Amino acid sequence: MATVRSKYLGDLRTESEHLHSGSKLITDAPLDNKGKGEAFSPTDLLATSLGTCILTTMGIAAGTHEIDIKDTEMEITKIMESQPRKVKEVVIEIYFPKNYIEKEKMILEKAALTCPVHLSLHPDLVKTLHFHYKA
């Protein structure tokens, strides 16, 4: 059973539909690869998938250990390699809305490093995470 149905719309644009919910998203090739850059590129989605998986996995751990991480934000930067063209590194800056005791930090950081997307990506892809706790 499929989870997503995707269609090529032309001009380096696709539309994908999440079959269970009906949610849709568009991708465009990036400006530096013959595209219009008017939507997420497939490689943007790869980086976003890693970031949102990290947030979700930390959310699960936080719920289990009664740690409030609501309003945690992140900035995700994708760094490309040209030969061959691929994502070389994803840098994720995680900004927590407050400080935590060391045990809570350990739980959150371990959860981040064990999200399914993180574990599924090729080991050659550099995944750099920086955790910023509010003082």
Range of the domain at 88: 42-132
Cis omega (within 30 of 0) for bond into 42: no
Domain tally, the chain: 2
Q: Are 127 and 83 within one domain?
A: yes
pTM of the model: 0.93
* 114 and 64 in a common domain: yes
Q: Are 79 and 109 in a shared domain? A: yes
Q: Among residues of the chain, what percentage have pLDDT more than 90?
A: 93
CATH (domain of 77): 3.30.300.20
Evaluate if residue 52 carries a pLDDT over 90.
Answer: yes
- Tens digits of per-residue pLDDT, 89-103? 999 999 999 999 999
Q: Give the strand pairing for 126-132 and 86-95.
A: parallel
Report residue 14 as tokens: 């696709």
Q: Tell me the per-residue pLDDT of 19-37, one tens digit each, with 9 for 90 and over.
A: 999 999 999 999 888 989 9
Across the chain, mean pLDDT equals: 96
Residue type, 80: M
pLDDT of residue 2: 81
Same domain, yes or no: 52 and 97: yes
Token duo for residue 126: 């550099």
pLDDT in the model for residue 135: 83
Does 135 or 19 have the greater pLDDT score? 19
From the list 129, 131, 52, the residue with the least C-alpha distance to 98 is: 131
Contact 94, 118 (CB under 8 A): no
Question: Average pLDDT for residues 113-133, to the nearest whole number?
Answer: 97
CB 128 within 8 A of CB 91: yes
